[in-house]
Amino acid sequence: MAKASKGGRRRTRSVMQKRARERGLSTITRAFQKFDLGDKASVSLDPSIHKGQPHVRFHGRTGVVVAKQGTAYMLEVRDGGRVKRIIVRPEHLRKAA
C-alpha cells in the first residue's frame, strides 16, 4: 500500500477549491488590504496564492491583529483551547465585524 502524503496541503481537496466562476487569480486589491492593530480578521485561505498561507486548520478562524511583519500580519487565534500566533499575508484575510 502507498504511504500517505505528509505535505502542508494534504486532505484539502474541498477546502482549497474555488467555485467554477471564481477560478484563477484573485483581484489585486485583496493584497493591498490594510489592518490596524486590534482589528478582528477572519482567515479565509485563497488557494490561488500559496505564499503567506497559514495552515489549513486556521481556515475560517477569527483572530485579532497584534503585529505587522513585513507585508504580513500576525494574528492571535484560539486553537484547541490555547492562543496561537500565526503569520498571514493580507490575501488570506477578511475584515471581521
Is the overall model pTM greater than 0.85, yes or no? Answer: yes
Q: For residue 31, with 0-12 CB atoms within 10 Å meaning exposed, 13-18 middle and 19 or more buried, which class applies?
A: middle
CB-side neighbour CA atoms (13 Å) of 90 = 17
Q: Which domain holds residue 85?
A: 27-95
Tell whether 22 is covered by a domain: no
Tell whether 64 is covered by a domain: yes
Q: Could you read off the pLDDT tens digit of each residue along the chain, which spans 97 residues? A: 899 888 888 888 888 899 999 999 999 999 999 999 999 999 999 999 999 999 999 999 999 999 999 999 999 999 999 999 999 999 999 999 7
Query: How many domains in the chain?
Result: 1
